[in-house]
Structure 1
Amino acid sequence: MPSVFHRLIARTPRSVERDTVALELDDGRRLEVQRVRDPRAKRLKLSVDERGARLTLPWRASLVSGDRFLQQHRDWLAEQLARHAPDDDIVALVPGVATHLPLRGENLPLHWHEGRFARITRQDDGIHVDLPARASAGSLRRTLRAFYEAEARTDIGRWLPGYLTGLPRAPRQIRLKVMSSQWGSLAPDGTLTLDLALVLGRPSAFEYVLVHELCHLLQANHSPAFWHEVETRFPAWRDERAWFHAEGRRLKARLRGLLAED
């Protein structure tokens, strides 16, 4: 049993701390940067995505060193912010307002109807939304998310059987979620997770990510042996990876805008 002395000197586990710091860019813009002090971090790190800029500091790094790091990377920050600027086609849903919804690489016209309960369906002339007069914004977002999940599972159900041959087992389960940076992952227990944003983009890119993660059932790494398995099952994987480099960030931003994800 540990002594009182040992309990007193034992270090209290540290948790992640967050705040914001202001940075003025060369063009005069004032930028709010999320500052994260993370005990797991090994070095200073600056990142930018559709949600903004983030500075990560190791626990022992001083705030002065963090400020100096930001100043040294102001040009890089400005360049990245320009890349992540909102696109004109990233829209929020407003009941009754005509717009288009992304699905499988297309922008489909949206049709609004008053209904007894919230429902979204795909029809030949576009996407139809039935919505009660007093439906909340949250209800609309949940209905849209359920619609995208159902469409994504339809695609997965069409592709998956053709790729199971030669695998040691099928995935334990398949989950769909909004992912910040990854497109998919495979947990040790066999649970396969895919980014819901995939159903917004072109189907071949979605199919490639599914194949990529299935191949991790054979090789739990990104070794040459792993890429050989991918190549055997999906020879055009390089084209899809290039597509993600060009369009991936915008795809994630579109889904976050529609679902109002933070």
Structure 2
Amino acid sequence: MAEHSLGGTPPVSVTLRRSGRARRISLRISQLDGRVTLTLPHGVRDAEGLDFARSKQDWIRETLNRRPQETGIGYGSVLPIEGAPHRVVPAPGRRIVARPGEIAVPEGAVARRLQTWLRELARDRLVAASDRYAQALGRPYSRITLRDTRSRWGSCTSQGALMYSWRLVLAPPEILHYVAAHEVAHLAEMNHSAAFWATVERIHGPYGALRAWLRSEGNALHRFRF
């Protein structure tokens, strides 16, 4: 892959890649990091592909401008915790304390301290939810790990290991519960067949609105930089 600039103000960087499976020139903009990828079939010259990208500059810039802006974490920042906005304020003691509308964090490495606290809260919530749905399913999982994944909210291996993004604790609780039910359902169905979705509905209940929320709002949870 190679990097090219389309110029303009500000300049737009484009990653050019070739694919033997591609049948036409295509452009993709990642909603996670704003990377612009230009995919070319074999036999198409770089110059032809870049001309195509330049012809789409208005669309590229409009799409990039709609992306949520990254937000650093410090005193005065506002971030959602279990779906509710909390302002980060100084803590008088050594412990992080969450109150309605604000979260008090001790001085020194505020973002790192808060991330550690959020991961612990996420583990508590996800273990409880996974236990609940595994019991409803009648199948145990082997372990739970948390990561800061950008491409998926969770996963389940054939050995029964569950993985979740800790950022789910930023979303409303019902979103976290849906993802837990989704991954636990894979303990019975390692696919996304009709039987799988029926399993999700059996152990969780209706999920359509929650799935839609993740698609439309989930990317915004990645804008907070710890």
| C-alpha distance in 1 between matches for 2:16 and 2:142 | 35
Deviation at 1:184, TM superposition (A): 1.3
Equivalent position of 1:8 in the other structure: none
Distance 1:71 1:182, change over 3 A: same
| C-alpha distance in 1 between matches for 2:171 and 2:3 | 33
| C-alpha distance in 2 between matches for 1:187 and 1:170 | 13
| C-alpha distance in 2 between matches for 1:238 and 1:183 | 16
Q: Aligned runs of 1:102-251 on 2, under 5 Å?
A: 102-113=80-91, 120-123=96-99, 126-131=102-107, 135=108, 139-165=109-135, 167=137, 169-251=139-221
Asked which structure has the greater RCO (Cα within 8 Å, sep 6+), the reply is 2
| C-alpha distance in 2 between matches for 1:62 and 1:173 | 49
| C-alpha distance in 2 between matches for 1:45 and 1:181 | 18
Q: What is the count of residue pairs matched by the alignment?
A: 222
Give percent identity, aligned residues only: 26
Distance 1:188 1:31, change over 3 A: farther
Deviation at 1:177, TM superposition (A): 1.6
Deviation at 1:243, TM superposition (A): 1.4
| CA distances 1:79-115 after superposition (whole Å, capped 9, x unpaired) | 42233142xxx63223xx4333320111123221476
Q: Mean Cα displacement is larger for which, 102-111 or 160-169?
A: 160-169
Deviation at 1:58, TM superposition (A): 6.4
TM value normalised by structure 2:
0.82
Deviation at 1:149, TM superposition (A): 0.6
Q: Is 1:31 paired with 2:11?
A: yes
| C-alpha distance in 1 between matches for 2:38 and 2:205 | 38
Q: Which runs of 5+ in 1 are unaligned?
A: 1-16
Matched letter for residue 21 of structure 2: K
* Greater radius of gyration (CA): 1
Secondary structure of the residue aligned to 1:52 is coil
Q: Mean Cα displacement is larger for which, 73-82 or 212-221?
A: 73-82
Secondary structure of the residue aligned to 1:49 is coil
Q: Is 1:47 paired with 2:26?
A: no
Matched letter for residue 210 of structure 2: E
Q: Mean Cα displacement is larger for which, 195-204 or 152-161?
A: 152-161
| C-alpha distance in 2 between matches for 1:85 and 1:161 | 34
Deviation at 1:129, TM superposition (A): 0.8
Matched letter for residue 153 of structure 1: R
Q: Is 1:66 paired with 2:74?
A: no
Deviation at 1:144, TM superposition (A): 2.0
TM value normalised by structure 1:
0.72
Q: Mean Cα displacement is larger for which, 209-218 or 186-195?
A: 186-195
Matched letter for residue 104 of structure 2: H
| C-alpha distance in 2 between matches for 1:72 and 1:217 | 47
| CA distances 1:153-203 after superposition (whole Å, capped 9, x unpaired) | 121233222211254642222122222232111233322121222111111
State the Cα RMSD in Å. Answer: 2.8
Distance 1:251 1:33, change over 3 A: same
| CA distances 1:132-154 after superposition (whole Å, capped 9, x unpaired) | xxx4xxx4333222111111112
Deviation at 1:126, TM superposition (A): 3.0
Is the 2:168–2:176 contact (alpha carbons within 8 Å) kept by the matching residues of 1? Answer: yes
Distance 1:195 1:65, change over 3 A: farther
Is the 2:147–2:166 contact (alpha carbons within 8 Å) kept by the matching residues of 1? Answer: yes
